[in-house]
Structure 1
Amino acid sequence: MSIEINHLEHVYNAGTPFEHSALHGIDLSIPEGKVTAIIGQTGSGKSTLVQHLNGLLIPSAGTLDICGFHIQPLLKIKDVKALRKEVGLVFQFPEYQLFEETIEKDIAFGPKNFGVEEEKANELVKKILPMVGLDESYLQRSPFELSGGQKRRVAIAGILVLDPKVLVLDEPTAGLDPQGAKEMMSLFMDLNRIHNKTILLVSHDMEHVMRYCDHVIVLDHGKVLQESDVHTFFEHPEWMIKVGINPPAIIRLKLMLKEKGFLIPDEILDLDALVKCVREQVMLHE
């Protein structure tokens, strides 16, 4: 079942001198089982939008239908607690949320908070560790002894242990080196392709969006500016330029080549095809 968002609006500090409208009539149908990117400049409403998906924020107006839950204005927090088991939200730098003395206790906290007995929760922890590339030798270690990338894996395991149907990732590779970012994105792609998790990725990294995502949503000043499949999206670099987003390297190279007089078809989005296209045109003029 897709995620349906209808006429969603959100106002912070309503009725005060600090009132600020962050979302304006958002209408979206986000496909199930796909990897969807949500992009836009800082302040465009990305984080506000995704925090509605597991009830951290309640709409000021409009509705959301997700994982069998209907979210509407004035809904009580107690009515959306179960939703947070179905929709896992991974904030930027989730490792900052680690707090228990051992990794086992940290990952088991979520299930126990939902009423799972300690023994069963610990069994779930052992099953989830391989999914994030860790083994049982980590169980009794302190999470604060780990590297940054390992801490992030532990934090993500603490969400995956609840077996959510939807995983919302807010800048999940922030602060990681290129290798760490690649490993993290490979983990998320496995969760999508092998475990059939619906993934929503909030990101400024257009290289990741191009390489890993199926669907793209562009927000601008709290409104949906563009929505399309990823291939169509990158055939139109003007959509990114319009909102001040830096296109991926291959798109920038295509634009430079076009300025030099080369005829580059819009559908070319990989380097091998681009090299072949340029070589053929060079050879014609030799």
Structure 2
Amino acid sequence: MSIKIHQLEHVYNPNTPFSHAALKGINLEIPEGKVTAIIGQTGSGKSTLVQHLNGLLIPTAGTLDICGYHIQPLLKIKDVKQLRKEVGLVFQFPEYQLFEETIEKDIAFGPKNFGVEETEASQLVRNILPVVGLDESYLDRSPFELSGGQKRRVAIAGILVLDPKVLVLDEPTAGLDPQGAKEMMTLFMRLNREQNKTVLLVTHDMEHVMKYCDHVIVLDHGAVKQTSDVKTFFEHPEWIVNIGINPPSIIRLKMRLKEAGFDIPDEIIDEDGLLKCIKRQVKIHE
């Protein structure tokens, strides 16, 4: 079942001098079982939008339908507890999700909160650690003594241990070195392919969008500016430039070549295709 969002609005500090409309009439249908990127400049409403998906924020107006749950204004938090098991949200800053004195307790908190017995919760923790690249030597350590990348892995483990149907990832590779980022993205793609999990990725990294995602949603000042499949999106680099985001390296190279006089068809967005196109044109002018 797709995620359906209808006329979603969210106002912070309503009816005060500090009132701010963060989302303005959002209409979206996000496909099930796919990887969808949500992009836009800082302040465009990305984080506000995804926090509605598991009830952390309740709409000021409009509705959301996700995993069989209907979210609408004035919905009570107790009504969305089960939704938070089905829709796992990993925050941009992992410190927001870590609070227990040990890593084992932190990851086990979710299962125990849903009624899982101590012994079973402990086993679930041990099962999920290697999935995020950690081992049992971390169990008794404080999450606040870890590096930024390790904290992110623990935060992700605390979500994955609940086996959600939808993974919402807000800048999930921030704080990770290139190898760590690659490992995390590979994990998310494996969960998508092998377990058919729907993945929503909030990111500024256009290389990740191009390499891993199926669809793109562009937000701008709280409104949807563009929706597209990934291939079509990168065939139009002006869309990326217009929202002030740096295109992937291959797209930047393509733009430079076109400026230099090469005739590069819009549909060529991969290295092999670009190389063949350049070779043909160079050979003609030899």
TM-score (norm 2): 0.96
In structure 2, distance between residues paired with 1:228 and 1:97: 32
What RMSD over aligned residues (CA atoms) do the two structures have, in Å?
A: 1.4
In structure 1, distance between residues paired with 2:216 and 2:258: 25
Match of 1:282 in 2: 282
Match of 1:242 in 2: 242
Specify the SS of the correspondent of 1:54.
coil
Match of 2:259 in 1: 259
Match of 1:156 in 2: 156
In structure 1, distance between residues paired with 2:36 and 2:159: 19
Q: Does residue 281 of structure 2 align to residue 272 of structure 1?
A: no
Q: Does residue 107 of structure 2 align to residue 107 of structure 1?
A: yes
In structure 2, distance between residues paired with 1:17 and 1:73: 22
Amino acid across the alignment from 1:186 = T
Say whether the 8 Å CA contact 1:214–1:230 is kept in structure 2: yes
**Mean Cα deviation higher: 107-116 or 145-154:** 145-154
Structure 2 counterparts to residues 173-252 of structure 1, below 5 A? 173-252=173-252
Amino acid across the alignment from 1:27 = N
Unaligned stretches of 5+ residues in structure 1: none
Q: Does residue 36 of structure 2 align to residue 36 of structure 1?
A: yes
In structure 2, distance between residues paired with 1:100 and 1:21: 34
Unaligned stretches of 5+ residues in structure 2: none
Say whether the 8 Å CA contact 1:95–1:154 is kept in structure 2: no
Say whether the 8 Å CA contact 2:61–2:72 is kept in structure 1: yes
Measured against aligned partners, the alpha-carbon deviations of 1:242-264 in whole angstroms (never above 9, x if no partner) come to 11111111111111111111110
Using the TM superposition, give the Cα deviation of residue 22 of structure 1 relative to its aligned residue in structure 2, in angstroms.
1.0
Using the TM superposition, give the Cα deviation of residue 152 of structure 1 relative to its aligned residue in structure 2, in angstroms.
1.6
Amino acid across the alignment from 1:193 = R
Measured against aligned partners, the alpha-carbon deviations of 1:90-141 in whole angstroms (never above 9, x if no partner) come to 0113155323333221110111122222112112112222322233343334
Specify the SS of the correspondent of 2:195.
coil
Using the TM superposition, give the Cα deviation of residue 276 of structure 1 relative to its aligned residue in structure 2, in angstroms.
1.4
In structure 2, distance between residues paired with 1:255 and 1:267: 13
Say whether the 8 Å CA contact 2:149–2:175 is kept in structure 1: no
In structure 2, distance between residues paired with 1:178 and 1:125: 26
Measured against aligned partners, the alpha-carbon deviations of 1:149-174 in whole angstroms (never above 9, x if no partner) come to 23321211111111111111111111
Measured against aligned partners, the alpha-carbon deviations of 1:67-98 in whole angstroms (never above 9, x if no partner) come to 11000011111111111111111011315532
Alignment coverage as a number of residue pairs: 286
Match of 1:10 in 2: 10
Question: Taking every aligned residue pair, what percent have the same amino acid on both sides?
Answer: 83
Measured against aligned partners, the alpha-carbon deviations of 1:214-273 in whole angstroms (never above 9, x if no partner) come to 000001111111101100110011111111111111111111111111110111111122
In structure 2, distance between residues paired with 1:144 and 1:73: 36
Match of 1:67 in 2: 67
**Mean Cα deviation higher: 134-143 or 162-171:** 134-143
Using the TM superposition, give the Cα deviation of residue 142 of structure 1 relative to its aligned residue in structure 2, in angstroms.
3.5
**Mean Cα deviation higher: 95-104 or 37-46:** 95-104
Specify the SS of the correspondent of 1:173.
coil
